[in-house]
Amino acid sequence: MSTGASGAAGSASQDGGSGAASTAERTPLLEMRRVNAHYGAVHALRDVDLSIYQGELVCLLGGNASGKSTTLKTLLGMLTPTSGEVVLDGEVVNDRPISYRVARGITMVPENRRLFKRLTVRENLQLGAYLRKDSDGIAADMEHVYELFPRVKERLGQRAGTLSGGEQQMVAIGRALMSQPRVLLMDEPSMGLAPALVQQNFELISQIHEAGMTVFMVEQNANMALGIADRGWVLQTGRVVLDDTAEALLANPALRTSYLGGGKGASDGSSGADGTAAG
Amino acid sequence: MEEGAPPSGAPRHRPPRARARLLRPRTRVDWFLTVLRVAVLIVLAVGFAAFIAQEINPDNPFARWANPDAAGLTGAQFRGLVISGIAQGSMYGLIALGYSMVYGVLGFINFAHGEVFMVGAMTGMITSNKLADAGLWESNFIGSLVFIVVVSIIVSSLTAVVMERVAYRPLRGAPRLIPLITSIGVSFFLQNASVVLLGPASKSYPNVPDWVKAKHTFLQIEGAKILVIVVAALSMAALWYYVDRTKTGKAMRAVAEDAEIASLMGIDVNRTIVKVFAVGGAMAGMAGILWGILFRSVIHTTGFLPGIKAFSAAVVGGIGHLGGAMAGGLSIGVAESVGPLLILEPLGVSGVSQLRDAVAFSMLIIVLLVKPSGLFGERLPAEDRA
């Protein structure tokens, strides 16, 4: 992360708890304006409005096939919206390829980490900085990743596939940070992990958020996600049905009925069951 | 954060599939394969033992048991066969790299790659004859060689890149069988294009200088073979450096493993695939020149058999693995050169010198029987290679 970006983010995150109110007058870092998207005949996103401000930690909740992954794909440019606009830092990027958006500060930690397992940890981190030319800056960011995750430094020469799940998660986040992102997208950080690792993973996310990173997280595990997020949206069959602060969403009885289907015990520790169903 | 994580030495979960493999009851196919493996290994062991017996004393009963006429090999003959095998095998290795790299990134076998090798050999033939006409071939052999190598690498790289653009890229989303069949079509196209442009007769490279033909004091090896082995080794080293150390090489390996995530890193997947074809084509072009220098004769079907053998080499070494492609090439080259006299003749098989090709492909079958993923191949979990 460049010092400039993290400095600005740092000041913003000081009032991160009540982010929604204080950020209203600024332009969002990343925005979706009435976006519709289709997979063939399937209408996957319906008039979705999202706005993510500098320094926020926000989450998008929803069950299986609610359009969460489609939202990420549309933001990154893997899918072109059929109508509406994807706006990155004030610029409409609908027709821009992934590499353009990555170079302008958006990146993603994919679901299930998806490290290059046969490459070494160092190579994984270097690939994160693929589009960058500033070798000094890359070296500095490498050091920054080691500071965040000292365990990663011990594993640099190892193939990524040989690491434990928790270490792989650190490398995945480190690799994303190497592209010098201004906003980090996280796809299902709790997916496919043992409960202890899910806990660790959410701690990693709040850790990088406190270091100044803007995070947009897509998650099924509402309680875990809202526990660390400032704001959140709930997506249901491609439509945003709830849009509120984390506290309000947690207190909202509609959260359970709308997307957890009213199941009583389903809201906590449910990620494992949901995860296998989604895979 | 540290408390939540398990100690790094904690046992990892065995993937369910591997567990299933161990627990699954053995089927009739498993028994059949085991019998086949044992039978093959016995044949190899008996043949080799008979060879050893024969080398120790040609008249002992074990050596005479299967083949009363076996002559055995002198040390010089054996060395000569091994060196020829290494020279030929290093060319197979160079070609095999292209099969392996393309399989790595696209997951299909480009059967037209042997024809890229043929295009390289043909280009070298045309260029070297032009140089010979101008008198440069004799007066400056090394300079001419460098020149024809450069021209041939350019032409064969271009052939491979155009092939990717025209024949394979439109089929990117199609099932893998479709580009595979297309590649067979491309192979026929290139062979016939060569007949149309250059005629169906076999054509020869100009005479090489005496120092290339002569046997050198060093191990009594012909200069051409030394040249082939040295140039092939240098090309492989350069390729290894390119793939292992450069940024583009890292991008290639990333695309090979997970193209979607590679594009998320900002890697241009299409451009990387083009580079893979270009580099594979360059290696095949290099091999084409070496082939021309060593055998001096080329025809439009020159690419077929070396191509198939190089493909076997890539599989023997573990497809997708570059070191494996080189090792597979060398082992197939040496096996087909030494194998007939080492294993088959002591077993009493007649006409062994014509069985090189059979030995090369038997090598493929034997390796697949014993280690289906190839010598250096890794068995990938199902999630990686669906």
Average pLDDT, stretch B130-144? 87
pLDDT score, position A113: 85
Interchain proximity B1–A207, CB inside 8 Å: yes
Of B133, B125, B132, nearest in space to B151 by CA: B125
Q: Residues of chain A whose pLDDT is less than 50?
A: 1-24, 261-279
pLDDT score, position A259: 59
Distance CA(B257)–CA(A131), nearest Å, equals: 19
End-to-end CA distance of chain A: give it in Å, rounded. Answer: 33
Which residues 235-264 of B are in CB contact (within 8 Å) with A? 247, 250-251, 253-254, 257-258, 260-264
> Pairing state of beta strands A106-109 and A42-52?
unpaired
Amino acid A46 reads R
Interchain proximity B4–A119, CB inside 8 Å: no
Average pLDDT, stretch B196-215? 83
Distance CA(B206)–CA(A247), nearest Å, equals: 84
* Chain B: residue whose CA lies nearest to A172: B261
Lowest-confidence range among A21-35, A108-122, B169-183, B335-349?
A: A21-35
For the cut 70, the answer to whether the pLDDT of residue B273 exceeds it is: yes
**pLDDT tens-place string over residues B49-92:** 878 777 777 777 776 676 666 666 777 788 888 889 999 999 99
Coil, strand or helix: which one is A129? coil
The whole-model pTM stands at 0.83
Say if CB A175 and CB A113 are below 8 A apart.
no
List chain B residues with CB under 8 Å of A204.
1
* Chain B: residue whose CA lies nearest to A101: B266
Average pLDDT, stretch B139-152? 90
pLDDT score, position A21: 45
Interchain proximity A128–B262, CB inside 8 Å: no
Say if CB A142 and CB A134 are below 8 A apart.
no
pLDDT score, position A250: 86
A224/B contact by beta carbon, under 8 A: no
For the cut 50, the answer to whether the pLDDT of residue B281 exceeds it is: yes
Mean pLDDT of chain B: 84
What ipTM does this complex have? 0.81
Average pLDDT, stretch B295-320? 91
Element containing residue A217 per DSSP (H, E) = strand A214-219
> Pairing state of beta strands A231-236 and A57-61?
parallel
